[in-house]
Structure 1
């Protein structure tokens, strides 16, 4: 807009496969990992790789 303001309009809705709307609520992850600056990125990637290998051997 000319005065620098903006207008945001939702033009679609997103639903989970079981019909729950995602907007405003988000999706809970299947697996939680504690976030800490002392944990290296490789540790997170190793955990993800391990989970994927268990689920898709």
Structure 2
């Protein structure tokens, strides 16, 4: 795992081997008011591991 190429973590900015990183994807939260003109908020949630064993 330590021999995998290094990548920069999007949240912490740390340089880590890619096998230790999690994929993040945006999740849009449902709006409580369907006719609202406010933008729908979104958050980042884990989507999976970058390790090839888990793809």
Superposition TM-score, scaled by structure 1 size: 0.20
Q: Which has the higher contact order (CA 8 A, sep 6+)?
A: 2
TM-score, scaled relative to structure 2: 0.20
More strand by share: 2
Q: Which has the higher helix share?
A: 1
